[in-house]
A = this chain, B = another copy of it.
């Protein structure tokens, strides 16, 4: 127990003692934490309790994915209004524990407290892979890659806010993206497993949309980037929405947050190799969207012009509290 670096470390003490304890391991310990509040990060008319639980854990796991870590243990603090129904809490836990089960994460501790507003605060602990993936490791000339289609989760919020019918065929795509985001754990671990450090660049997760997250990655790396609007991976549903709203589809793609895919940079040949991997397939596919530069600004080439990446004009849940 606890001797082989790749075995799953066992829980020595779980809920019921003063604290949880688990076996140590021989790679860095990775920890992330997130909190969501009723009325700020979720609205009852847009999402059920199971979706809130799923999305909170997905945000945590997405952070672990961006470090290349394997999820192991979670710690949950729940603040509940006295009139909150038990069924709501059950549904919340169903959503959270369902996703936890998919990745082998064990809920090992937590607390329930009374509160004037419902909130949930989750801390996840994971084990790093052979290498830690950082935001600051981009190198000039590397390609910029994203996983999955962009903008679908944001499109769900946009449609809801504008009162557009989300029971259309494409509404289903957005609803799924918003309610059941799939964190790119397998992809993150595949990136951390690459044999040569030179094979990888910077990595982060797409939590606030490309227009916010790509400049963050560039800032951390001390570099810039240029992306091609017509290379951004978008769903047919997003094309349809863009047409209905008379907006360029790339604007919806870069502004929508909470897709929870990965954004990373790497040499062109690494990207080519990764695209054929199962991890890439599970993550919804990989797309090279641009290149790291030593330019002055982070740019997008669209409609024949090079533009600054636009800041989001509509507020999605969570954008009020950018991380």
Q: Are A114 and B321 in contact (CB under 8 A)?
A: yes
- Which residues in B have their C-beta under 8 angstroms from that of A128? 21
Q: Which stretch from A22-30, A44-52, A89-97, A242-250 is at the chain B interface?
A: A22-30
| In contact, B64 and A114 (Cβ under 8 angstroms) | no
List the B side residues contacting A19 at CB < 8 Å: 30-32, 63-64, 66-67, 69, 126
Would you give 22 A-B contacts (Cβ < 8 Å), ordered by A? A17-B204, A18-B204, A18-B205, A19-B63, A19-B126, A21-B28, A24-B28, A24-B29, A32-B109, A33-B75, A33-B77, A33-B110, A34-B77, A35-B79, A36-B113, A37-B114, A37-B115, A39-B116, A40-B116, A75-B123, A111-B323, A119-B119
Name A77's closest neighbour in chain B (CB-CB). Answer: B35
Q: What B residues does A62 contact at CB under 8 A?
A: 18
Closest to A112 in B: B321
Find the residue from A21, A110, A136 having the highest chain B CB count within 10 A. Answer: A21
A73 at the interface (CB under 8 A from B): yes
Contact residues in B for A30 (Cβ distance below 8 Å): 19-21
Per-position binary interface string of chain A over residues 280-306, scored 1 when its CB falls under 8 Å from any chain B CB and 0 otherwise: 000000000000000000000000000
Q: A75-B123, A116-B37, A134-B17 are contacts. A26–B28 as well, Cβ < 8 Å?
A: no
Q: Could you tell me the distance between the alpha carbons of A198 and B287 in the complex, rounded to whole angstroms?
A: 61
Q: Report A109-148 CB contacts with B as 1/0, cut-off 8 Å.
A: 1111111110101010110100010111000000000000
Instruction: Look across to chain B and name the residue whose beta carbon is closest to the beta carbon of A18.
Output: B66
Interface residues on A, range: 35 or more
Please indicate the chain B residues that have their CB under 8 angstroms from the CB of A35 in the complex: 77-79, 111, 113, 121
Q: Check A109 against B31 for contact (C-beta < 8 Å).
A: yes
What is the count of identical protomers in the complex? 2
- Given A18-B135, A40-B115, A31–B73 Cβ distance below 8 Å? yes
**0/1 interface trace, chain A 3-24, chain B, CB 8 Å (1 if under):** 0000000001100111111111
Q: Chain A 47-89 against B: per-residue CB contact (8 Å), 1 yes, 0 no?
A: 0000000000000001110110100010111110000000000
User: Is residue A320 within 8 Å, beta carbon to beta carbon, of the partner chain?
Assistant: yes
A225 CB–B CB distance under 8 Å = no
* Complexed CA–CA distance, A31 and B205 (Å): 25
Say whether A108 faces chain B, with CB atoms less than 8 Å apart.
Answer: yes
Q: Knowing A18-B205, A67-B21, say if A28 contacts B40 (CB, 8 Å).
A: no
Nearest CB on B from A135, distance (A): 5
Chain B's nearest CB lies how many Å from the CB of A91? 21
| Docked-complex contact A114 and B320, CB < 8 angstroms | yes
With A and B bound together, what is the CA distance between A95 and B35 in angstroms?
22
